[in-house]
Each structure stands twice: as C-alpha cells, then as structure tokens.
C-alpha cells in the first residue's frame, strides 16, 4: 500500500500522511470545528418490490445472499448486540465464501471476538479485503498490526459510523441483521426469544440506509412480531437458522462490578466528583458504561443520589443491571438504551415502559439534528492511557497491541458537559498516565476530569474548569495536577521504552466528525526497517 510522503500535523500534534492508499486524509482540527454539510442524507436503500402475497422468507443464507445480488467488492454490515455470543457473522461469511464472492468490505458496528471460523481466515482467503469498524482487538488486531491487510483498517466511533453512512462515506450494499425474534415479513426485535439480546439500536441506521436488508433469526413468530425494533418496511428477506448465537455469551446474569480495592476507590471518587458538581441536581443526566469500574461507579452514584434526595431525568447509552436497578428504585425516570450489556438489561427493556430502545444515530451522531449526547451532563469513561494534555488512548496497549475499540468514548466526552475519565496510575509495570499517549482517540479538550487512586486531576483548558474546581474544593476532594500523576507513574515503573513502529499505516483512527485524529502504524519486528 502506497502512502504519501507529504504529511499534516493535526490539532493534537500527530503527524499524518496526506494520503494513505486511496484514502485522502482530512486532518483533525479541533473537537468542535468541523461543520456538517447541507448535503442530503445518502442512502442506497432500494424501492420496495414486494406486492401482496409475496414471501420474504429465503430458504437458506445462501439463497438470501443470492437474492440480494451481492457481488465482489461490495460492502456488508452486521451489528454487535450479540457480543461474543454472535454466530451470525461466521455463518454469513461462510456462505459467502462458498458462493465464491470475494473482496468485500466488512463494516460491522463493532468486531466481536469471533472464533471457529475466525475473521482472519476470511481475510486470508480473500473474502474480505477491507475492514471498517470501531475496533479490532484480539486475534484480528494482532494480525492487522503484523501486516495481514493491504488496505488500512478504518476505525470509527459509534457516533461517526452513522455519520459516515449518512454522508455516503460508508455505503452498505447488504446489511445482515440478527434478531432474537422475527416474523416472516421482516418485523424483528432483540427483546424476546430464547436468545434475546435487548436493544438493536446499532442496526437501525443499517436497516434504513442499506441497499438490501436481510433479517436472520432462530425464533420465527406469528405475524406481527411485537415489539418490532426493525420494521418490515426496511427488510427485503428473512432467514431462519438453527442458532443465532451462544446464549451464555450473548448475556447471562448481570455484568459484574470490580472487587479490586484500588478500582473501587477510583469508582467512588468518580461518583464523588459528580455529586460535588453544581450540575448534580434534580433532573440531571448521566452515562456510566459497562466496565467493572463503571458499574461500581453506578452503584456509588445511586448511593449519593439517595443521600442527597436527587433523581435523574435519564441515563443514556449501553445499559447494565446496575442502571436498571437505579430505574426500579425510582432514581432515574427514563433509560435511553442503545445497547443492553447483560441479560438483566436485555429482559428489562421488554418489561419496563421507561426503558426505551434508541437509534444509535440519534444517540451519538454529531451531525444529526439532535444528538442525545448534547443533553448529557455527566459521562464516565475508561481509558488505557491518558497523557499530560488529557488526550485519551482507548485502543492500544503498552506494547502497541490492539486492546480495545473506540466505542462511544470520544462521542460521550465531546457531548457531555463533564466527562470523567477513570483509570489507575499504573497497570502492572506500565504507567497509565504518560507524557504522550501512544494512540490519541479522544482529544484532551473534551476531557474535564481524570480520576485515579492517587488523586483527581482537572483539565485547566476545559470549558467548565473554574466551576468544577470551585465545587470540588468545597467538597474537600483530593485535587492534584496531571503532571503530578505522570511523575508518580514513572517513579513507580521507570520510564518505559518507546514502542518501535514501521512507517506503514495499519489503521486510520477517525474522530467523530470524519477527520483523522491519529494513525496506528505496524509494530516493528526484529529485522524490519
């Protein structure tokens, strides 16, 4: 893959080639500087050709794929609501391989850790030659950084993906939408059935904009399927398979909070930061996420709300059992759910009228006519690294390996009034607070607070710095500088050896507005120049 020798230095100081293969770089210029165009929303959606009496049921996955007209070089998409229990992606790609279709762009909302078969196998045999997703951790991530793909992987936030689809940058020819229940005419849901996953919010934009839409289920119900997350009006074909996924991995029980005393301290401090803020008042809004620290933070936040007699208007994003519990206690009026992170949350969305399934585009697309994130007071986020400019890395680990996905972190940081990033000062023998993050995913200007076990650092450049400093000092919370945390980390671990990279770009990291905030280069191996 050729890439330009000419480079940009973007607004977070990253040197980016002006062109990477066929990809023309638009450099990141600031979190709020890019203005959406007035161009109409782009769609490949075809006119409906079904007339009364037509049947949408396909005999098999192969039959459905043939009927969609899928050809070499086209783009296919999937959603990630079944998490590591997903068996649809493997079944569809296997059928495509058997049909001899090659060179596809694989564009799921996120790549789950699929095995037997592995996504790597479909790249090696040429079925897939491009990947666009929010992250590529695990076996696929390792393989990409080792040079698996000729074309760079494009990584987008959860907000940037619907933006790219509607802008025509990501044109989906065929969307394969897994559903835990569906009827023969295409009405589909994730809320009922033996393999219920809850919200299908990440698939809405695919259903509404793809050229062809195939619903895949293992639980066919009588017409009409109710509730219907995906409407029949968007669906071309329906396929019944033996199994859409492993129910134990799709979601079993409740996501667990951490028992680590250090992480519990971080979680409690994050809740204290929110409770001390003047924005912590009746009808505030929040998003806390599904990581172990985040779930603990949710529980501590509930305690603070009960202590102060404060209730929230809504919680946003992916839902967990901990947030559902807050709702059932009457602490939150509405849960706006883009994804159900565990079985408890998946069941609750079908049972509770105040838990609402939302379109991910409405949730996080910065160029929509009203993103829900713009109404968010507090956002709690995790990180692998934070640097002294408050830039956040949520993708790459201490050796440069792919460890996570962009997810909605950059979107939440930019949209919320106060973004709270939680992480320990060190992990193992590696500093988490650094002078410069290896990969910049979330720009520091959107980060309000960094919370660690060693203290709380406020970003002096954040728009709410003065108010937040005053509030936290009043509450006698332990404030330190980010530079102090960085020096402490290095005193505990020593100065880490720089990661050596090759010149060739393996992944392009887009910010939520479609500009390039960073690139991930292939890791230099012994003997590489």
Q: What is the pLDDT of residues 286-342, one digit of tens each?
A: 999 888 899 999 999 999 999 999 999 999 999 999 999 999 999 999 999 999 999
| 107 pLDDT tier (thresholds 50, 70, 90) | very high
Neighbours of 313 (CB within 10 A): 14
pLDDT band, residue 253 (cuts 50/70/90): low
Note the pLDDT of residue 524: 82
Helix (H) or strand (E) holding 457: strand 455-458
List pLDDT tens digits, range 146-202. Answer: 989 999 999 999 999 999 999 999 999 999 999 999 999 999 999 999 999 999 999
Task: Say how far apart CA 402 and CA 110 lie, in whole Å.
Answer: 14
The CATH homologous superfamily of the domain defined by 57-250: Glutaconate Coenzyme A-transferase (3.40.1080.10)
Which backbone phi and psi does 519 adopt, to 5 degrees?
A: -130, 155
Spell out a b/e string for 484-522, using b for 16 or more CB atoms within 10 Å of the CB, else e.
ebbebbbeebeeeeeeebeebbbbbbbbbbbbbbbbbbb
Quick: pLDDT tens for 277-286. Answer: 999 999 999 9
Residue owning tokens 């109409």: 40
Mean pLDDT of the chain: 94
Instruction: Please state the domain extents for the chain.
Output: 57-250, 261-496
State yes or no: pLDDT of 117 exceeds 70.
Answer: yes
Whether the Cβ atoms of residue 189 and residue 230 lie closer than 8 Å to each other: yes
The rounded distance, in Å, linking the Cα atoms of 353 and 184 is 26
CATH 3.40.1080.10 for domain 261-496, yes or no, is yes
What is the average per-residue pLDDT within 510-523? Answer: 96
Backbone angles phi, psi at 156, to 5 degrees: -125, 150
* Whether pLDDT at 5 is above 70: yes
Q: Which long-range contacts (CB under 8 A, 24 or more apart) does 492-498 make?
A: 492/425, 492/426, 492/431, 493/426, 493/429, 493/430, 493/431, 496/398, 496/430, 496/431, 496/434
Alpha helices by DSSP H, 104-230: 119-124, 138-145, 160-167, 204-209
Q: Looking up tokens 């883009």, which residue turns up?
A: 338
Residue 220 DSSP class: B
Q: What is the mean pLDDT of residues 43-60?
A: 83
Q: List, as one string, the DSSP characters of 371-435.
A: -GGGG-SEEEEE-SEEETT--EE-SB-TTS-B--B-TTHHHHHHHSSEEEEE--SEETTEESEES
Asked whether 321 and 256 are in contact (CB, 8 A), the reply is no
Reported residue count of the chain is 529
Q: How many CB atoms lie within 10 A of CB 18?
A: 14
- Tokens representing 251? 């979601």
Do 57-250 and 261-496 share a fold? yes
Q: Which is more confidently placed, 106 or 35? A: 106
pTM listed for this prediction:
0.96
Measure the CA–CA gap between 341 and 199, rounded to whole angstroms: 9
Query: pLDDT tens-digit profile of 23-51?
Result: 999 999 999 999 888 888 889 988 876 66
CB 254 within 8 A of CB 320: yes
């Amino acid at each position: 893959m050729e890439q330009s020798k000419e480079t940009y230095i973007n607004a977070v100081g990253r040197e980016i080639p002006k062109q990477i293969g066929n990809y023309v770089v638009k450099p990141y210029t600031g979190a709020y500087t890019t203005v959406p165009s007035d161009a109409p929303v782009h769609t490949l959606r075809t006119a409906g050709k079904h007339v009364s009496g037509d049947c949408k049921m396909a005999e098999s996955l192969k039959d459905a794929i043939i009927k969609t007209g899928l050809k070499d070089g086209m783009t296919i998409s999937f959603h990630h609501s079944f998490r590591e229990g997903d068996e649809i992606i493997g079944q569809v790609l296997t059928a495509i391989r058997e049909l001899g279709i090659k060179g596809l762009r694989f564009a799921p909302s996120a790549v789950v850790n699929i095995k037997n078969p592995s996504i790597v196998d479909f790249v090696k045999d040429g079925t897939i030659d491009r990947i666009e997703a929010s992250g590529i951790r695990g076996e696929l991530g390792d393989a990409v950084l080792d040079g698996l793909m000729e074309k760079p992987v494009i990584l987008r936030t959860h907000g940037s993906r619907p933006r790219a689809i509607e802008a025509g940058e990501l044109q989906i020819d065929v969307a394969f939408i897994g559903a835990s229940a569906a009827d023969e005419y295409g009405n589909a849901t994730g809320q009922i059935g033996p393999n219920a996953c809850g919200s299908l919010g990440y698939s809405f934009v695919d259903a509404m904009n793809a050229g062809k839409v195939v619903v895949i289920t293992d639980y066919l119900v009588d017409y009409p399927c109710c509730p219907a997350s995906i409407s029949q009006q968007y669906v071309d074909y329906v396929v019944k398979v033996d199994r859409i996924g492993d129910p134990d991995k799709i979601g079993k029980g409740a996501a667990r909070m951490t028992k680590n005393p250090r992480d519990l301290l971080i979680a409690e401090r994050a809740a204290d930061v929110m409770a001390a803020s003047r924005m912590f008042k009746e009808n505030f809004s929040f998003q806390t996420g599904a990581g172990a620290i985040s779930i603990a933070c949710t529980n501590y936040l509930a305690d603070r709300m009960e202590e102060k007699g404060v209730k929230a208007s809504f919680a946003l994003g992916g839902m967990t059992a901990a947030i559902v519990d807050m709702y059932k206690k009457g602490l939150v009026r509405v849960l706006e759910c883009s994804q159900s992170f565990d079985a408890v949350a998946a069941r609750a969305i079908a049972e509770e009228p105040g838990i609402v399934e939302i379109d991910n585009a409405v949730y996080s697309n910065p160029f929509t006519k009203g993103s829900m994130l713009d109404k968010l007071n507090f956002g709690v986020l995790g990180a692998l690294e934070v640097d002294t400019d408050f830039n956040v890395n949520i993708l790459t680990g201490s050796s440069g390996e792919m460890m996570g996905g962009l997810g909605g972190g950059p979107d939440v940081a930019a949209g919320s009034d106060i973004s709270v990033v939680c992480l320990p000062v060190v992990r193992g023998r590696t500093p988490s607070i650094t002078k410069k993050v290896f990969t910049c995913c979330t720009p520091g200007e959107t980060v309000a607070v960094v919370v660690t076990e060693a203290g709380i650092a406020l970003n002096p450049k954040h728009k709410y710095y003065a108010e937040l400093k005053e509030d936290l000092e009043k509450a006698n919370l332990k404030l330190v500088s980010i530079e102090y945390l960085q020096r402490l980390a290095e005193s505990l671990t020593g100065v880490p050896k720089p990661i050596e990279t090759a010149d060739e770009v393996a992944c392009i990291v887009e910010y939520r507005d479609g500009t390039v905030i960073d690139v991930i280069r292939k890791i230099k191996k012994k003997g590489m120049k």
